Structure 1
Amino acid sequence: MKKTTTRNVFNFIGRVIMVVAGAFITAYGLESVLIPNQVSDGGVTGISIVGSTLFDIPLGLLIAVLNIPFIWLGYRQIGTKFAALSVAGILSLAYFTAIMHHIPAIIEGDSLLITVVGGVIIGVGMGIALRNGGALDGIDMFAVLLSRKLPFGTSDLILFLNTFVFLLVSTVFGFQGAILSAIAYFIASKVIHLIEEGLSGSKTFTIITVHPDSIIEAIREELGRTCTYNEIMGGYTRMPLTQITCIINRLEEQKLKEIIGRLDPQAFLAVYDVADVRKGSFVKKDVHHQAK
């Protein structure tokens, strides 16, 4: 029990460190790329940038204060650890934007380069924070809460809420600044998704077939992966079938499709993205290993 508790404490400390690192990267992207070129972020950070520009209030102070109600929502809706990690991330973001406020811009003039580089940097920072269980912006928490009350998805609500943020941005940075801010935010959202999935990513294959043995054996021999399977029955044909489930690296996707097409062209196949895979038997064997 004591060993488990110690491991959990060190695991939580490690996550805090990664969330703070994500905040540092995000602050650098804001202060060295976007803000000096009159380009904003979305969400609460975007509102904070507008307020800081209009009223000459320190950006870090606004980020910390405006996120307070959203941290409370995160605590009520998601849990204590999420709230604690988000507090660490948001306070770190506020602090780092304050100490980086006067650093020189690393890119100037080229609008396309500004949005791409700025979006990638803040996307990496926010993605690292989210992957480790924290958040650097409260609008995502608000969207999750609204999605439980309204007949809309979380991503749709995030887009809807940010529409108002970018309209607000246009009053300070102009229409061009709002458009560039929206592009940078879009790029950042794609990078966040990539970071959360992992650079290689994983796929779940569900295969319904009448030739399970040959497919399972080929997956083991040619990909070095293992599978699980269930005996099922077709709802229309009443034929006995086997449902195989296999998780693979996305780089192996085409190879697995070739195996299925070769061994059972009539097999039913469904493919799903996997955000995270931990422990279990998701271990790739050396396909060239020869038994001695």
Structure 2
Amino acid sequence: MRREIIFKNGLGIVVGALIYAVAINDFLIPHQIGEGGVTGLTALGYYTLAIPPAITNLVLNGLLIAVGYRYLERQTIGYSIWAILWISLFLRLPHIVHYQTTQTLIPAVIGGVLMGIAMATIIHCQGTIAGSTILAKIVNRYLGIPNGSAMLFFDLIVAIPSGVIIGFQNMLLTIIELYLSAVVLNKLLAKFGAKRAVTIISNQYATIATTLSEQFNQGITLIKAQGYYRQKAQPMLYVICTAKQLATLVPVVSQIDEKALVVVEEVRSVQAAQLKQLL
């Protein structure tokens, strides 16, 4: 099972790296649109000194990987190195989509959407593209700020001053592209990686807990509580699950106790090495 997960994540990162490279090579650089973070510095290096993007990407991201090594899990660092290698490789390939237009807003929009999809794919597969995603991952882990919002902040630090080189209009297009990529990234991560906190109040809590544990292999916390009106002890069950698990979990609870009170809340961030053991 472990090897299957590693293979699946590794393949997903390769796909994300390809989409990322297409966004840069075929939509952003040909139309003089900048980027944020390391990618922005990579584009500026190409515009001003003609430094190949693959080289700049590899060198600068290597330095940020060293920073992330102290704060992030070793697995994340390993997947990030894998992502950087493939991005650097794909950036050296010829153009895949030969697209030229004088309507520069179009490549900015398409590039932003593709960048958001690429980063969401890589982050969903437990990796990063280094650069601002390393910093965003650290901020998300310790402060709970969404990855896309944190990335947008760090990217703008590079994107806004880039107007001196790429011009005011292209700087505005860069900001539009960064905003779109952040929105797409947040939306996709919320959809695919969202967690739900479920509180269940029922007189048949023991049966519900046993059933959920057996059917879903899901950790469950039993919280001792007391009703105010009757002053009667009423234990509650607390479960962290995915949106997909929730769709099945609620009907199971209703089958056991149709009068059970089920409260569902969205969870911004869950940090635990072994969630089942903690619950």
Shared fold, TM over 0.5: yes
Letter in 1 for 2:64: F
| Residue number in structure 2 paired with 1:137 | 130
Do 2:152 and 2:182's aligned partners in 1 also have CA atoms closer than 8 Å?
no
In 2, Cα distance between equivalents of 1:273 and 1:87: 29
The alignment partner of 1:230 has SS state of strand
In 2, Cα distance between equivalents of 1:13 and 1:33: 30
2:76 corresponds to 1:93: no
Question: How far does residue 107 in structure 1 lie from its aligned partner after superposition?
Answer: 5.8
Question: How far does residue 44 in structure 1 lie from its aligned partner after superposition?
Answer: 0.8
Percentage of pairs with the same residue: 21
In 2, Cα distance between equivalents of 1:233 and 1:118: 52
Question: How far does residue 26 in structure 1 lie from its aligned partner after superposition?
Answer: 0.6
Aligned length: 256
In 1, Cα distance between equivalents of 2:139 and 2:103: 38
Do 1:31 and 1:105's aligned partners in 2 also have CA atoms closer than 8 Å?
no
Distance 1:240 1:116, change over 3 A: farther
Distance 1:244 1:13, change over 3 A: closer
Counterparts of 1:243-258 in structure 2, within 5 Å, are 243-245=236-238, 247=241, 248-249=243-244
2:155 corresponds to 1:162: yes
In 2, Cα distance between equivalents of 1:117 and 1:239: 59
Counterparts of 1:171-210 in structure 2, within 5 Å, are 171-199=164-192, 203-207=196-200, 209=201
> Unaligned regions of 5+ residues in structure 2, if any?
none
Distance 1:146 1:243, change over 3 A: closer
In 2, Cα distance between equivalents of 1:121 and 1:157: 18
Distance 1:239 1:114, change over 3 A: farther
> Unaligned regions of 5+ residues in structure 1, if any?
1-6, 281-292
| Residue number in structure 2 paired with 1:271 | 265
Counterparts of 1:70-149 in structure 2, within 5 Å, are 70-100=64-94, 102-103=95-96, 105-106=98-99, 108-144=101-137
Distance 1:232 1:29, change over 3 A: same
| Residue number in structure 2 paired with 1:283 | none
TM-score between the two structures when normalised by the length of structure 2: 0.71
| Residue number in structure 2 paired with 1:17 | 11
For residues 88-110 of structure 1, the C-alpha deviation after alignment (integer angstroms, 9 at most, x for no partner) is 2112112211213x455436344
Letter in 1 for 2:59: V
Letter in 1 for 2:55: L
Letter in 2 for 1:121: L
Do 2:36 and 2:154's aligned partners in 1 also have CA atoms closer than 8 Å?
no
| Residue number in structure 1 paired with 2:49 | 55
In 2, Cα distance between equivalents of 1:50 and 1:107: 20
The alignment partner of 2:224 has SS state of strand
2:54 corresponds to 1:64: no
| Residue number in structure 2 paired with 1:232 | 224
* CA RMSD after TM alignment: 4.1
In 2, Cα distance between equivalents of 1:183 and 1:189: 10
